[in-house]
Structure 1
């Protein structure tokens, strides 16, 4: 038996058991022209969670989103091309929530 076959069987078993839920790729946002990485803490103004979650899922600039406990309601990561695009995103978010923005100045890991 080849080691490739063994690995394939093991991967399939892990998928069936739910250990592996999905596969993904790593995208270099800078090479796509998205030079600003923003981490945005969301403070919903009302209980519009469903509408806000729909907005998050449909917005391609929002690359990651988490509903959180503690301070704030959500933490999102957005990748945008420039300050104009960031301002547009923040204006859209204001329809649902107040926010606090932190910008990445360099990726460590």
Structure 2
């Protein structure tokens, strides 16, 4: 799909403000409401816009501790990888699971209430995942928001 500068402007606004009205979005990107809505729908149908979400404060819902977890698998046979991936995404504490290159095979973002909750997760949930050879945990002390003026590429 060809994405022009107007589409990029629409995406930049929606990335920051997913609940903006179509009229306000159209005004910000210099279109009238009907063509703006057509462009948004086209971006949605093409899968460029994959969805809209609410950003929830993890601490407000009892998940104030964020831990990044590097996971290395014992073997990399297809069946082992599939088994690990099938189980890891079922863990409610796992917010994101990225398959990566480097020292670890996966990088997880885990959110729990506090350090004792993470200790329990690590000992009783991570330890039961199939094929895990090594786990290394990094506790986030602070999270900074990314730039809000970026343009999608």
TM over 0.5, shorter chain: yes
Q: Which has the higher strand share?
A: 1
1:100 paired residue number? 136
- Alpha-carbon separation, structure 1, partners of 2:94 and 2:43: 30
2:63 paired residue number? 34
Matches within 5 A, 1:72-83: 72-83=104-115
Q: Specify the SS of the correspondent of 2:54.
A: coil
Q: Specify the SS of the correspondent of 1:70.
A: coil
Structure index of larger Rg: 2
Q: Which has the higher helix share?
A: 2
Question: Larger relative contact order (C-alpha < 8 A, sep ≥ 6)?
Answer: 1
TM-score by length of 2: 0.64
- Alpha-carbon separation, structure 2, partners of 1:4 and 1:32: 37
TM-score by length of 1: 0.86
* RMSD (Å), alpha carbons: 1.7
2:120 paired residue number? 88
Q: How many residues align?
A: 108
